[in-house]
Amino acid sequence: MPQLAQLAQLAQLDVGDVVATAEYHLTRDSLVRYAGASGDFNPIHYRDDVAVSVGLPGVLAHGMLTMGLAVQCVVAWAGDPARVIDYQVRFTRPVLVDAETGADISVSAKLGALDAETNTARIDLTVTFGEATVLGKAQIRIALSELLS
Amino acid sequence: MPTEPYLVGREKVREFARAVFATSPLNYDVDAAIAAGHADVVAPPTFPIVIQERTLAQLLAEPDAGIDFTRVVHGDQRFTYTRPIVAGDELTATLTIASVKSLGGHSMVTAVSDIVDSTGAHVVTATSTLVVRGDE
């Protein structure tokens, strides 16, 4: 059970330690793929003319795409997507996806807190595009046991 | 009014997982999911948005709500699970408007969608705060 071995490493972790990092490169193709998978066909996510007509600087990534990918490095660390029992974010800044160069998103996940009573860990995400963070109060609660019961 | 039952398909879980850059084998590989104690492939943590979207569509289609879709911005999102979603689940969602607040010409609507399985047992609650921009 490699995931349990990974979680055993929690014993050596301190609050504030980085548990996972990831880099993602988004292109317009990524947005079209997410639109189809999620059913969110708002044209501001694939048409420049529509985005500009509603006052945006250009085509934006779906906030839910950013939320969806940002958790993945923590899923990999925890070993099972089912260990994510709570996940919340605030969308603070848009991710502008250039038609030619795309957009690069960086994710850093830190151990925010350990709760022995509920046997959960709180992981805090920092998600940045360019120099700015794009998600606020991005927190994941991870169940540390009981998934195999 | 609950949404029509949504049957979670294995290929839909895989398609959604690819779209959010998921790499866990438990999202894709039935044998790996079963070995980890699940009934089938496990949906990524943000998958419930697919079902919640149906309740938000109900809200935006409600003429009495008076919400102009082109002015809606997604403010916050949260998913709180009782158990993971796996392929084969048949899920329905019920929308509750938890609060409506005015903030400097904008309205903030907090929409809570409780998602249950075919036995009526709670699976996940999806909470969205939508900001409806006022006239500029």
pLDDT tens-digit series, residues A1-51: 445 555 555 667 889 999 999 999 999 999 999 999 999 998 999 999 999
Tokens of A7: 């979680």
Pairing outcome for strands B122-132 and A120-129: unpaired
CB nearest B20 (choices: A65, A89, A149): A65
pLDDT in tens, B3-61: 899 999 999 999 999 999 999 999 999 999 999 999 999 999 999 999 998 888 888 77
CA distance B38 to B35: 7
Greatest pairwise CA separation for chain A in angstroms: 53
ipTM of the complex: 0.93
Q: Does B53 reach chain A within 8 Å, measured CB to CB? A: yes
Structure token pair of residue A68: 């969806």
In Å, how far is A110's CA from the nearest CA of chain B?
18
CA distance A24 to A128: 10
- Residue B22 is predicted with a pLDDT of 98
Q: What is the DSSP string of A1-26?
A: -HHHHHHHGGGG--TT-EEEEEEEEE
- The structure tokens listed for A45 are 């996510």
Residue B67 identity:
I
The helix (run of H) or strand (run of E) holding residue B126 is strand B122-132
Return the structure tokens found at A75: 């899923």
| Residue A86, strand partner residues | A141, B80
Q: How far apart are CA B40 and CA B35, in angstroms?
A: 10
Q: Mean pLDDT throughout B100-121?
A: 92
Mutate to test the interface with A, among B20, B28, B49, B50 (most CBs of A within 10 A): B20
Q: Which one of B19, B38, B46 has the shortest CB-CB distance to A71?
A: B46
* Average pLDDT of the residues in A52-65: 94
pTM of the model: 0.93
How far are the Cα atoms of A94, A106, B133 from residue B104, in angstroms, in the given order?
21, 33, 10
Which among B15, B75, B81 is the nearest to A37, CB-wise? Answer: B15
Q: Of A128, A129, A148, A82, which Cα lies nearest the Cα of B47?
A: A82
**Chain B residues 86-105 with a CB less than 8 Å from chain A:** none
Q: Least CB-CB distance to B74: which of A36, A75, A91?
A: A91
Q: List pLDDT tens digits, range B69-86.
A: 667 888 999 999 999 999
| B9 three-state secondary structure | coil
Q: What is the pLDDT of residue B119?
A: 97
Verify whether the Cβ–Cβ distance B19 to A38 is below 8 Å. yes
Smallest Cα distance from A65 to chain B, Å: 6
The amino acid sitting at A38 is: S
Residue of A nearest to B74 (CA): A91
- Cβ contact, residue pair B50, A81, below 8 Å: no
Average pLDDT over all residues of chain A: 90
Binary contact (A68, B36; C-beta < 8 A): no
**Residue A10 has what pLDDT?**
63
How many Å apart are CA B50 and CA B115, to the nearest integer?
A: 11
At A117 the pLDDT is 86
Contact yes or no for A81 and B77 at CB 8 A: no
- Assigned CATH for A4-26+62-148: 3.10.129.10
Q: Angle at which helices A63-70 and A28-38 pack, to 10 degrees?
A: 90
Distance between CA atoms of A90 and A86, rounded to whole angstroms?
14
pLDDT at A149: 37
Provide CB contacts within 8 A for B100, sequence distance 6+.
Answer: B107, B108, B109, B110
Rounded Cα–Cα distance for residues B116 and A117 (Å): 27
Q: What is the pLDDT of residue B86?
A: 98
Q: What percent of chain A has pLDDT over 70?
A: 90
Closest to A140 (Cα-Cα) out of A109, A95, A107: A109
Considering chain A, what percentage of its residues have pLDDT values greater than 90?
79
Residue B30: phi, psi to the nearest 5? -60, -45
- Rounded distance, CA B131 to CA B111, Å? 11
User: In this predicted model, what pLDDT tens digit does every residue of B54-67 receive, in sequence order?
Assistant: 888 888 777 777 67
Of A24, A71, A86, the CB nearest to B81: A86
